[in-house]
């Protein structure tokens, strides 16, 4: 089936869920009226059980409506947008939200305030305004296309935006954030990769959260992108009841390397309204990092980071290996053995 067909075959209400999992309809429709729901037939086919790791990512829950702690726009994106849907937070790169649709509406989404709703209008004029801002802001060396999901646009529209960006002399790097290799892998067609490969240097960061998402179809999608010369990264979010476990994260990260995806970030959950029930203690993330570093290939190790509320940006966190730091650095290695390194004084 074409990717458009898989998408058209989505479950968008309690009735569709109830049909396969009787007795689970409560609160789904009410929640979906506030935060959109879409579970396409591919991802639906991966869901094995009620309350499982893929279920929790996809099926609306009453907990979203009950959230009194989360913040509507935790990263202050709206106030950091010089034009609508373009976030300029860091000096040399911008986040350009080019689409409001996704192949699945993740329940934990940081932008659930607007993604998939009328609160995120995207128009040709809006895209032009973003392009104009990039043209007149030469400090921007990198453009990160995100959304929504840029790959939910047609090939032609993507080609148009990529062509416009590539024609801007100051834009050195184009990066695309897309969850389609994970949630709609049939979107990665040969035709799409032929378009993408004309715009190098192009990087793609995708988003897998659980080893069960690494299917033969996902592997094929990533192979196609990698064979088009596109380096692939992954931005995973730590999610309670989904992947907040050292063994699950290890299987995920090592599995990603096997499909040629380099883990890039492991994010602490954002303080998003409607997603607070997914947050895990920071200590859990640090313990997971400690269980990985040194024990598995360094290639599999992402940076564990918190995106600071209020637009502070991504701040990395590492387990503490330092015991004391004077003339000698006294620290412990990954097995807990104490080591020392005589520092150099002066410059």
The footprint of ligand PLP (CB under 6 A) covers 87, 89-90, 93, 95, 144, 314
H or E element: which one contains 287? helix 282-292
109 binds ligand SF4 (CB under 6 A): yes
Q: How far is the CB of 107 from ligand SF4 (least distance, A)?
A: 8
Q: What residue 95 binds from ligand SF4, ligand PLP, none (CB within 5 to 8 A, per partner kind)?
A: ligand PLP
Which range binds ligand SF4 by CB under 6 A, 104-112, 117-125, 165-173, 306-314?
104-112
Binding residue (CB under 6 A) for ligand SF4 from 7, 17, 102, 196: 102
Which range binds ligand SF4 by CB under 6 A, 24-32, 108-116, 198-206, 270-278?
108-116
Which pair of tokens denotes residue 47? 């869901």
Q: How far is the CB of 115 from ligand SF4 (least distance, A)?
A: 5
Q: What residue 109 binds from ligand PLP, ligand SF4, none (CB within 5 to 8 A, per partner kind)?
A: ligand SF4
- 28 vs 106, beta carbon nearer ligand SF4: 106
148 binds ligand SF4 (CB under 6 A): yes
Which pair of tokens denotes residue 36? 């959109």
Q: What residue 222 binds from ligand PLP, ligand SF4, none (CB within 5 to 8 A, per partner kind)?
A: none
String marking each residue 258-297 x if it binds ligand SF4 according to CB under 6 A: ----------------------------------------
- 42 vs 108, beta carbon nearer ligand PLP: 108
User: Is the previous residue joined to 201 through a cis bond, with omega within 30 degrees of 0?
Assistant: yes
For residue 330, what is the DSSP state? E
Q: What residue 115 binds from ligand SF4, ligand PLP, none (CB within 5 to 8 A, per partner kind)?
A: ligand SF4
142-146 vs 93-97, strand pairing mode: parallel
Cβ proximity of 46 and 262 under 8 Å:
no
Cβ proximity of 217 and 183 under 8 Å:
no
Q: How far is the CB of 93 from ligand PLP (least distance, A)?
A: 5
Which pair of tokens denotes residue 119? 């609160």
Residue whose entry in the numeric block shows the structure tokens 């300029």 = 88
111 binds ligand SF4 (CB under 6 A): yes
For residue 147, what is the DSSP state? S
Per residue in 90-115, is it b (16+ CB within 10 Å) or e — as a string?
A: eeebbbbbbbbbbbbbbbbbbbbbbb
CA pair distance 310, 290, nearest whole angstrom? 28
| Residues counted in the chain | 347
Residue whose entry in the numeric block shows the structure tokens 């994106």 = 77
Q: What residue 188 binds from ligand PLP, ligand SF4, none (CB within 5 to 8 A, per partner kind)?
A: none
39 binds ligand SF4 (CB under 6 A): no
114 binds ligand SF4 (CB under 6 A): no
- 39 vs 115, beta carbon nearer ligand SF4: 115
Binding residue (CB under 6 A) for ligand SF4 from 35, 42, 105, 267: 105
Q: How far is the CB of 245 from ligand PLP (least distance, A)?
A: 25
Residue whose entry in the numeric block shows the structure tokens 């793609």 = 204
Cβ proximity of 237 and 108 under 8 Å:
yes
Binding residue (CB under 6 A) for ligand SF4 from 113, 114, 175, 179: 179
Q: How far is the CB of 318 from ligand SF4 (least distance, A)?
A: 25
Cβ proximity of 162 and 199 under 8 Å:
yes
CA-closest candidate to residue 151, choices 40, 22, 36, 305: 40
Q: What is the dihedral of CA 53, 311, 204, 132, to 10 degrees?
A: 140
Q: Which residues bind ligand SF4 (CB under 6 A)?
A: 102, 105-106, 109, 111, 115, 147-149, 179
């Amino acid at each position: 089936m074409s990717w458009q067909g898989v998408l058209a075959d989505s479950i968008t209400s309690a009735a569709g869920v109830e049909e396969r999992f009787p007795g689970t309809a409560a609160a789904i429709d009410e929640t979906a009226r506030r935060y959109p729901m879409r579970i396409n037939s591919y991802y639906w086919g991966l869901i094995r059980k009620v309350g499982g790791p893929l279920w929790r990512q996809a099926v609306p829950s009453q907990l979203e409506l009950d959230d009194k702690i989360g913040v509507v726009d935790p990263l202050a994106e709206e106030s950091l947008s010089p034009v609508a849907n373009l976030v300029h937070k860091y000096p040399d790169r911008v986040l350009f939200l080019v689409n409001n649709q996704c192949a699945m509406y993740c329940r934990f989404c940081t932008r659930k305030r607007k993604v998939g709703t009328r609160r995120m209008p995207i128009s040709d004029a809006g895209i032009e305004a973003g392009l104009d801002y990039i043209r007149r802001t030469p400090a921007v060396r990198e453009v990160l296309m995100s959304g929504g999901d840029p790959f939910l646009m047609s090939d032609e529209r993507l080609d148009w935006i990529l062509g416009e960006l590539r024609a801007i002399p100051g834009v050195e790097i184009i990066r695309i954030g897309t969850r389609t290799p994970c949630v709609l892998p049939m979107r990665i067609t040969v035709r799409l990769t032929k378009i993408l490969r004309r715009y190098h240097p192009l990087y793609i960061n995708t988003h897998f959260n659980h080893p069960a998402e690494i299917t033969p179809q996902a592997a094929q999608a990533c192979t196609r992108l990698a064979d088009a010369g596109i380096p692939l990264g992954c931005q995973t979010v730590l999610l309670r009841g989904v992947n907040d476990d050292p063994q699950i994260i290890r299987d995920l990260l090592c599995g990603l390397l096997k499909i040629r995806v380099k883990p890039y970030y492991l994010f602490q959950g954002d303080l998003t309204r409607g997603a607070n029930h997914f947050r895990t203690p920071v200590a859990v993330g640090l313990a997971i990092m400690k269980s990985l570093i040194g024990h598995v290939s360094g290639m599999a190790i992402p940076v564990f980071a918190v995106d600071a509320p209020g637009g502070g940006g991504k701040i990395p966190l590492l387990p503490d290996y330092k015991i004391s730091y004077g003339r000698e650095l006294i620290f412990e290695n990954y097995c807990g053995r104490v080591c020392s390194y005589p520092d150099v004084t002066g410059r």
